[in-house]
């Protein structure tokens, strides 16, 4: 589904909306952030940082309604995931908080969604 050689870290988690952000921040050599955004998160089993990353949707039993996403050596059980590229400032999150005056398009361009 998605693969990158960049370094990523768990960046933000919104408890009330069950959202998780894993980010590869822009640096001197990289002009854009790469954000992996998960929603409807039910379980997280991940390292806190990744040196390179692969993201894939993993098949589960047909009885399970919520998908599993393989992230590096771990996984996230979540309703969905998308990969965004953006130029948000380091402390700006691409998670959707309802108290902000930002339109959805300002969170970044969607590269992959599932």
What percent of the chain is helix, strand and coil (3-state, nearest 5)? 5, 50, 45
pLDDT at 70 over 80: yes
Mean pLDDT of 87-91: 91
Give pLDDT tens digits for 15-64: 999 999 999 999 988 999 999 999 999 999 999 999 999 999 997 776 66
Cβ(38)–Cβ(14) below 8 Å: no
Other beta carbons within 10 Å of 9? 13
Other beta carbons within 10 Å of 86? 17
Dihedral (C-alpha) 61, 63, 67, 70: value to the nearest 10 degrees? -20
pLDDT at 101 over 60: no
Instruction: Identify the CA nearest to 20 among candidates 5, 42, 4, 1.
Output: 42
pLDDT at 83 over 90: yes
Cβ(4)–Cβ(24) below 8 Å: yes
Instruction: Give the global pTM.
Output: 0.88
Phi, psi of 107 (to 5 degrees): -80, -15
pLDDT at 102 over 60: no
Count: domains in the chain:
1
Range of the domain at 78: 2-113
pLDDT-based confidence at residue 106 (cuts at 50, 70, 90): low
pLDDT-based confidence at residue 112 (cuts at 50, 70, 90): confident
pLDDT at 104 over 60: no
């Amino acid at each position: 589904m998605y693969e990158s050689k960049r370094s990523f870290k768990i960046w933000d988690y919104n408890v009330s909306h069950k959202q998780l952000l894993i980010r590869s921040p822009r640096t001197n050599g990289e002009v854009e952030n790469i954000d992996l955004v998960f929603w409807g998160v039910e379980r997280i089993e991940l390292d806190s940082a990744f040196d390179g990353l692969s993201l894939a949707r993993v098949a589960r039993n047909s009885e399970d309604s919520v998908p599993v996403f393989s992230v590096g050596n771990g996984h996230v059980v979540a309703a969905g995931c998308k990969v965004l590229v953006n130029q948000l400032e380091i402390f700006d999150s691409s998670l959707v908080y309802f108290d902000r005056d930002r339109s959805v398009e300002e969170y970044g361009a969607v590269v992959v969604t599932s």
